[in-house]
Amino acid sequence: MFNPRRLSLARMRRRKTARALAEETGLAADTISRLEAGSNAPDETTIEKLSKALGFPVAFFMDADPEDIDTGAVSFRSFSKMSARERDAAISAGSLGLQLSFWVEAKFSLPKPNLLDLSYETNPEAAAISLRQYWGLGERPIGNMLALLETQGVRLFSLSEDTASVNAFSFWRDDKPFVFLNNFKTAESSIYDSAHELGHLVLHKHGDPKETRSAEREANAFASAFLMPAKDVKARVRRPTIETVLTDKARWRVSAMAFAYRLNKLGLLSEWHYKSTCIELGKRGYRLGEPVGIERETSIIWKKVLSQLWSERTTKNDIALSLNLPLDELEGLIWNLAGPEVRPKIGGELRAIK
């Protein structure tokens, strides 16, 4: 039976208005609205038109209700920069990510969530220290932020959004933490985004962070303190210069701008020195990117899951078919997280995972 909620989801995911979809399909805009409201049931020809225009298989529209995500409980990075269409598309990706997550968890035993509820904490710096202590990290730099999150039970997905407005977002679902990252950004920015979302997960678990800019400031302060512990930075940085900023940032695997900001907050760079450092970094291209950057982190969980599925002759095409998803949406959810795909050394010919 046709599921009107899946039509709405697919349309929002493709960032199409009802009018635009009507024009592509040759249907009336009112017809699209009635279909999404469940007032009318489409015939096979109409479903084929919708499937073709949206790039979702016919079976997708006949599946059970999609997993709803409470937009009020989602923490969006740079929420104020997003359009409603970008927000709805990202939320739709989250819904598809939940569907994929349930599919994977039915087949694999993933790490159980092991995060603290620090919603009582008013000082993000103290919260970062508490979580570091709880995880036994001490003051040392984090070698692989994504691996750390995954071992602590955070479910990671990527976003295929080619817009800087959608950086990342996170939410809790059934006591499991989910983070969606935009991997079109630099490796350093993705690490910072993941720490920012971790801040939301532990600081704002019971709140409504999208309604307050202070929540974004708290998550940023948490990320800065979590990635660059004050004691470690102060012990190793004495008199920072533009050159030492560019070399020392590699220890904490952060961007030059984020490192300079942390040095300023810790009193190691005066306001004047901080501003002049930012100007010089901008001239060298560090405001828009990371000319000398680090290697992008990849997901250990997704690499193992895909490798195991591949060894069982299950390809991404097979996964997409079983979930009734278009392949581009499946790849978008794990794009750039699994890393280079390596054919396992087992007997027999296998179909490539693409």
Residue (of 163, 154, 27, 30) closest to 86 by Cα position: 163
Return the residue matching tokens 């008199």: 239
Shared domain for 154 and 121, answered yes or no, is yes
Note the pLDDT tens digit of each residue in 79-109: 566 788 888 888 899 999 999 999 999 999 9
Final residue in a domain of this structure, among 185, 201, 227: 227
CA dist 177 and 224 (Å) reads 20
Exposure class string for 318-345: b at 16+ Cβ within 10 A, else e: ebbeebbbbbebbbbbbebbbeeeeeee
The least confident of 80-89, 225-234, 244-253, 305-314 is 80-89
pLDDT at 85: 85
Note the pLDDT tens digit of each residue in 155-201: 999 987 666 667 788 999 999 999 999 877 889 999 999 999 999 99
Strand, coil or helix: 176: strand
Residue (of 105, 63, 103, 71) closest to 90 by Cα position: 71
- CATH, residue 53: 1.10.260.40
Pairing of strands 176-182, 155-159: parallel
148 secondary structure, DSSP code: H
Whether residue 325 lies inside any domain: the answer is: no
CA dist 335 and 76 (Å) reads 20
Whether residue 130 lies inside any domain: the answer is: yes
**Whether the predicted pLDDT of 354 surpasses 60:** no
Query: Could you tell me the two tokens for 293?
Result: 């950057």
Instruction: State which amino acid sits at residue 323.
Output: L
Final residue in a domain of this structure, among 227, 243, 271: 227
Whether residue 160 lies inside any domain: the answer is: yes
Shared domain for 86 and 170, answered yes or no, is yes
pLDDT at 211: 52
Shared domain for 91 and 220, answered yes or no, is yes
Shared domain for 96 and 219, answered yes or no, is yes
- CATH, residue 88: 1.10.10.2910
- At residue 99, what are phi and psi to the nearest 5 degrees? -60, -45
Shared domain for 115 and 152, answered yes or no, is yes
Whether residue 128 lies inside any domain: the answer is: yes
Note the pLDDT tens digit of each residue in 251-302: 999 999 999 999 999 999 999 999 999 999 999 999 989 998 899 999 999 9
pLDDT at 240: 93
Whether residue 304 lies inside any domain: the answer is: no
Shared domain for 160 and 177, answered yes or no, is yes
Shared domain for 54 and 148, answered yes or no, is no
Shared domain for 145 and 243, answered yes or no, is no
Shared domain for 235 and 95, answered yes or no, is no
Count how many domains the chain has.
3
Full domain range(s) for residue 256: 230-284
Residue 345: pLDDT band with limits 50, 70, 90: very low
Final residue in a domain of this structure, among 284, 302, 329: 284
Whether residue 302 lies inside any domain: the answer is: no
- Return the beta strands (E) in the chain as ranges: 75-76, 155-159, 168-173, 176-182
Strand partners, 232: none
Note the pLDDT tens digit of each residue in 111-132: 999 999 999 999 999 999 999 9
Shared domain for 85 and 220, answered yes or no, is yes
pLDDT at 213: 77
Given a contact cutoff of 8 angstroms between Cβ atoms, the answer to whether 32 and 17 are in contact is no
Whether residue 16 lies inside any domain: the answer is: yes
Shared domain for 14 and 38, answered yes or no, is yes
Shared domain for 55 and 81, answered yes or no, is no
Mean predicted lDDT score pLDDT of the chain: 89
Whether residue 126 lies inside any domain: the answer is: yes
